[in-house]
Structure 1
Amino acid sequence: MELGAKAPSLLKASLGRTGKWAGSVAFVSGAVSDVLNPLAPFAAYIALVAAVAAVIIAIAVVLKLVLAAKAVPALIFATSAAAVAGGVYGLQQQTNSQNGVIASLVPAVAELQQSMGIVAEKVAKIEQTVTQTQKTVEAVKQSTDTVAKQTEEIAANQQQQTAQGAETQKTVEAVKQTTDTLAAGQQQQVAQAEKLQATTEQIAASIDTIAKGFAALAAQGGAIADPKRPDEYYHNARVYELSGDMLNARRSYLAFAGFDVDAVDPYTRFATLLRVQDGKAGAREVFGALSDKGKALSINLVHLMQFDDVQRLDKLNAFIAAHADFAPAYFLLAQEFSEDRLGSQSLSDKRSEAQALTKFVAYEKDGGLLKYFVDQRELADWLDRSRSRLAALGDVLDPALFAPTLTPMRSNQGWSMTISLPEPATAISWRLGNSGPFTDTGFMAMNDQRTGKPMPNPSFELPDSTAATTIGIKYLDLRGRETGPFDISFDPDAALQQGAKQILDQFWTSWIAFDASGNHGLVYFSQMLSFRCAIKQVHYGLNGAALDKEIKMPPCDKKDPYAIPYDYQPYFKVADSVKSMSVQVTYTDGTKSPVREYKRQ
């Protein structure tokens, strides 16, 4: 009741104090909100806020939450602002003014709004720019993160590379150190090689001295009590060996080997002693150790000779390939193909032996073998054995003298070809022409005593229609090695004539037959008629007269060369006074037979 009585006077007093400035502020706020309407409905916002504030203040006054004297001026201001702003917003809605009521009435305000629009457009652009900038910032951040990550990886790689660089530096330094070491080693090896070469030359030059010393000691006889030189040790080894003292002989040979003398005969004798005592394996072991220590080629050569068969031959060939002028190797190579070593030799073995011995003997010229022997008697023995074997081998190196041959023999059915080989064979094959497969001749129903194996058939057949051609022959020797092929020319006409001529020459006593089979007064020449393909002319004379008569032969029938024509008489008549007949045949190759004389019985 008291508040109600005082309210009119309080309200009146408040209006008198605050109404003027509250209304003015409210009006200005409404005008400003109308001008800013293109940006946003600020009038509505102000009206709503002011109304809510007025209601709240009024409730607070009623509820005595605040003093009325203090709250009323605020209530008046909020109410005035709500009324003015609400009125402005109502006019805007009624007039449908997007840019506000004042702008529609005052052009200057419209221009100001346009400026405000520009600002708004710039603000929009700024917002867009800010948005793009934000995106850019995010992209930059992502790129920065990527770059940071890559930077970290690069840093890690750099650290790793730094570590690897350090390791590489260490490796380079190690390689450099190794290279320097190798270089120094190479220089040392070169120096050693030069020293070895000088030593080798010195030893080679001293071989003659050693040989002379050994010869003098051999003439003197007896063992040297305190040997110091290589010739003395070799002399003692021989003396102990002859006396049966193999232990001291062995010690002396080993002492000689310690001088690394490049002479072959002491080592071959030592190897023989070792094989007797320790077998081939023991000799191989001892010489293996010597060859590891020494540089003399003679030691290496004798060492490889302690291996077995094929392995020994392979090593010997490799040695010769590496040291082609080491003469003693050729003599030892010849022994690999000798009859003593093999028991029986093939033609290839003989040729290999002859080639090696020829090479060895060739080094004798100008004393080329002396530098390899301490005991000159050993060299003389090697040379004697070489010359003896070369004499026994004869012309084995002449290929023309040791080629297969063919002996064609014509029959009424065709050709029978007999093969002659220069050595025993274990298989024979042939072919017609220069190409194509070979045909094996097969085997006979007997063994060849020279090989101990079935004897290959030395012949084959060809039809009588065979034209002139080349026949290839090849065979396997007694060690199963293929030899050939050999190409042999075959001319049927020449072969027919040659075969007939051979028979006529071989059986010339059958050319003429007087009074054969009781036919008195007839002279038969059937054999000459059968082999007439080799005959050009036949002249004869009777009772020692000149050969002024001729027996006319029918032409050669190549299809049936030995048949006598049915209309031809193989004889002629002679008088009883004919006691002898002289005959000479001229062959188709132009040669003539001796004058053959036949007496009548």
Structure 2
Amino acid sequence: MEALRKAMTRAAAPVSIIGTVGGFIGDIVAPLGNFAPWVALVSFIFTLIGLFGFLALRRKQGDLAWDSPVAGGLLIAGASTLIFGGWSILFAVGPEKGYLAENIKPIAVVQAQLFDLQEDVTQIKETTGETATQVVAMATAQAEGFAGIQEAFAQLQMGEGTLVENPATPQEWYSNARLYQLRGDTANAIKAYEGYFQFNLEYVDPLIEYSALLKASEGIARTRQIMIEMLNAHPENLSLDLAVGRLLDTPEERLERFIALSMRAPQYGPVFAELGDEYTRAVGSTPTQDLIQKQADAYTTLFKLEEQQLFTRYYIDKLQAEERLQSARRTLDAFASAQTAFSKIDITITHYYNGTSFVFAFAEAGSAQKILFGIDDPEPKMDTGRNASGIANIYIPPILLPVGEHTVYFQYLDANGSASEVYSRAFRVDPVTVIFQQLPPDFSTNTIPGTFTVGILGDKIEDAKAYTYNYSLDNDSLSETLEGFAMGTIQVTGLTPGEHTLYIQATGADGRKTEVVAFPFTVQ
């Protein structure tokens, strides 16, 4: 018993602290609920766990088990169970805001500041209930009203629709709006559309029709103001955002708006239709590969989304939606050949004795703002400059490069200042340069002659250094010889159409030889 008494003495201090602090906190948070029963339940569970552990330990150690941490934990958990069991009863029958707040004003003030109890809890519950009811009503209108709207629209198309005297549903408001519109009654059509908009549905075509009526009657500025006010009231409505974007003045503003909307809602099909149309108009004024590619990407995304009806689902008038899709397909097909032409890039590389020259050929060369190139630099930085006509240079005069493997890179800024991708082509600089020129065919032998202009890389013609060129065609025997200088000409006959290779090696007056160069060429 002495061991038990010591254990209880050691546990007294922590138990007192837990009981006091727990009671104080429980009383302060009383407005939020009575948490004491939960703490008592958790303490009881730990008491059972501690009891089983203690009994197992006591069988091994006897009374010494009371000196173990297991015994201390058992006593603290058991005492907490009793204390919070008592607190739970007291809090259950006590004041709603707790004993301390009820009797000590400063604590009541602190409690109010902590938990924002200035607003009545009942009022919060009532507001929450009203909001939930509104959300349910909106959801019901979107989910169940769809079929009704479609049915009403079908009746309108067949000429069977009639005005509803006191419209209450979105389909009734929409039906009235279209009927007024068909009758030329713009004022009532606008009012009916506004009645339909109170349900905050995300169909595109009612917004487009409404905007057109407003522009015709009140002008673009007022229309834009009204649509922006609607969007401010319902910023989550994607179709309202789209409708506001359609009313912006400049193509740049519209593109910026639609791009932002497409990033915000990548599954919203109508915005990609608008993007494709905007890029199509931009291509019409300034055709560039960048714009054609962006147009294709927008329309391709639109068609992909429509596989899950993520475009037509936003239209009440399905025929109008299908016509827009067909128009987009026709436009994309029409620009397909242009995209192929714009995507063709050619880099011509020619090796001379005094260096390597480059010609960059691409469809936008005549309108490019700038052409940048680099040798062995994947981030082109050198500007080719402009010629006398003010057009960016596509020709780079010979640049003397070391013998070995190299890569030329180039990039251009199109007419709109958009950077193209970086294009590249690998090439090799040899110690002996070769240029092949095919001559007219010899009909007497039914073969083709040709001329090779050969030179020593980096040597100056005026130095008149003597070289011996050993060469051969389509084998590496080097059986033919030409005596010459830094540049020379080799005449050949008897060539046949197809792929061929000239093998050549130069030997200087001092006896030094170049490596053997294999020059492939094609006879047409």
**TM-score between the two structures when normalised by the length of structure 1:** 0.53
**Deviations 1:178-197, CA, capped at 9 Å, x for gaps:** 58779975995697368526
The CA deviation at 1:490 is 2.4
Matches of 1:247 and 1:352, distance apart in 2: 40
Match of 1:284 in 2: 224
Match of 2:362 in 1: 421
Match of 1:385 in 2: 327
SS at match of 2:387: strand
Match of 2:241 in 1: 300
* Structure 2 residue runs without a partner (length 5+): 1-103, 456-469, 502-518
Matched, 1:251 2:194: no
Match of 2:500 among 569, 575, 587: 587
SS at match of 2:348: strand
Match of 2:151 among 207, 212, 216: 212
Question: What amino acid maps onto 2:399 in structure 1?
Answer: P
SS at match of 2:422: strand
**Deviations 1:173-220, CA, capped at 9 Å, x for gaps:** 134235877997599569736852673364134323312320221211
Matches of 1:536 and 1:555, distance apart in 2: 14
- Seen in structure 2, the aligned counterparts of structure 1 residues 422 and 462 have a Cα distance that, compared at 3 Å, is same
SS at match of 1:491: strand
Match of 1:527 in 2: 450
1:33-52 equivalences under 5 Å are none
SS at match of 1:286: helix
Match of 2:215 in 1: 275
SS at match of 1:455: coil
Matches of 1:557 and 1:217, distance apart in 2: 92
Match of 2:294 among 344, 349, 352: 352
Matches of 1:351 and 1:583, distance apart in 2: 43
Question: What amino acid maps onto 1:209 in structure 2?
Answer: G
The CA deviation at 1:329 is 1.8
1:564-583 equivalences under 5 Å are 564=489, 583=496
Question: Do 2:149 and 2:174's aligned partners in 1 also have CA atoms closer than 8 Å?
Answer: no
The CA deviation at 1:456 is 0.6
Report the number of matched residues.
Answer: 382
- Seen in structure 2, the aligned counterparts of structure 1 residues 535 and 327 have a Cα distance that, compared at 3 Å, is farther
The CA deviation at 1:443 is 1.0
**Deviations 1:459-502, CA, capped at 9 Å, x for gaps:** 112335454311121111111122233333222459977x73xx
Match of 1:200 in 2: 139
**Deviations 1:21-78, CA, capped at 9 Å, x for gaps:** xxxxxxxxxxxxxxxxxxxxxxxxxxxxxxxxxxxxxxxxxxxxxxxxxxxxxxxxxx
Question: Do 1:537 and 1:585's aligned partners in 2 also have CA atoms closer than 8 Å?
Answer: no
1:93-492 equivalences under 5 Å are 170-177=109-116, 188=127, 192=131, 196=135, 199-200=138-139, 202-220=141-159, 224=163, 226=165, 228=167, 229-241=169-181, 244-294=184-234, 296-309=237-250, 310-339=252-281, 343-394=285-336, 402=343, 404-411=345-352, 413-423=354-364, 424-434=367-377, 438-446=381-389, 454-467=390-403, 468-492=405-429
- Seen in structure 2, the aligned counterparts of structure 1 residues 417 and 187 have a Cα distance that, compared at 3 Å, is farther
The CA deviation at 1:362 is 1.4
Question: Do 1:211 and 1:373's aligned partners in 2 also have CA atoms closer than 8 Å?
Answer: no
Question: What amino acid maps onto 1:416 in structure 2?
Answer: S
Match of 1:67 in 2: none
Matches of 1:489 and 1:390, distance apart in 2: 34
The CA deviation at 1:227 is 6.7
SS at match of 2:489: coil
Matches of 1:395 and 1:169, distance apart in 2: 78
Question: Do 1:405 and 1:488's aligned partners in 2 also have CA atoms closer than 8 Å?
Answer: no
Matches of 1:173 and 1:556, distance apart in 2: 107
Matches of 2:277 and 2:324, distance apart in 1: 11
The CA deviation at 1:376 is 1.0
Identify which range, 292-301 or 175-184, moves more after superposition: 175-184
Question: Do 2:289 and 2:339's aligned partners in 1 also have CA atoms closer than 8 Å?
Answer: no
Question: Do 1:404 and 1:473's aligned partners in 2 also have CA atoms closer than 8 Å?
Answer: no
The CA deviation at 1:313 is 3.4
Question: Do 2:380 and 2:411's aligned partners in 1 also have CA atoms closer than 8 Å?
Answer: no
Question: Do 2:356 and 2:399's aligned partners in 1 also have CA atoms closer than 8 Å?
Answer: yes
Question: What amino acid maps onto 1:457 in structure 2?
Answer: N
SS at match of 2:268: coil
Matches of 2:159 and 2:277, distance apart in 1: 34
Percentage identity across paired residues of the two chains: 19
Matches of 1:456 and 1:321, distance apart in 2: 35
Question: Do 1:529 and 1:553's aligned partners in 2 also have CA atoms closer than 8 Å?
Answer: no
As a proportion of its length, which structure holds more strand? 2
As a proportion of its length, which structure holds more helix? 1
Q: Larger C-alpha radius of gyration, 1 or 2?
A: 1
**Deviations 1:129-159, CA, capped at 9 Å, x for gaps:** xxxxxxxxxxxxxxxxxxxxxxxxxxxxxxx
Question: Do 1:333 and 1:356's aligned partners in 2 also have CA atoms closer than 8 Å?
Answer: yes
Matches of 1:302 and 1:472, distance apart in 2: 43
Matches of 2:329 and 2:226, distance apart in 1: 33
- Seen in structure 2, the aligned counterparts of structure 1 residues 412 and 207 have a Cα distance that, compared at 3 Å, is same
Match of 2:466 in 1: none
Match of 2:49 in 1: none
**Deviations 1:565-598, CA, capped at 9 Å, x for gaps:** 5xxx767xxxxxxxxx99456512888757xxxx
Matched, 1:512 2:442: yes
- Seen in structure 2, the aligned counterparts of structure 1 residues 193 and 232 have a Cα distance that, compared at 3 Å, is closer
The CA deviation at 1:263 is 0.7
SS at match of 1:482: coil
SS at match of 1:394: helix
Matches of 1:412 and 1:199, distance apart in 2: 79
- Seen in structure 2, the aligned counterparts of structure 1 residues 534 and 238 have a Cα distance that, compared at 3 Å, is farther
**TM-score between the two structures when normalised by the length of structure 2:** 0.60
Question: What amino acid maps onto 1:476 in structure 2?
Answer: L
SS at match of 2:391: strand
* Structure 1 residue runs without a partner (length 5+): 1-164, 447-453, 515-521, 539-551, 572-580, 595-601
Question: What amino acid maps onto 1:173 in structure 2?
Answer: A
- Seen in structure 2, the aligned counterparts of structure 1 residues 410 and 244 have a Cα distance that, compared at 3 Å, is farther
The CA deviation at 1:418 is 0.6
Match of 2:473 among 536, 546, 564: 536
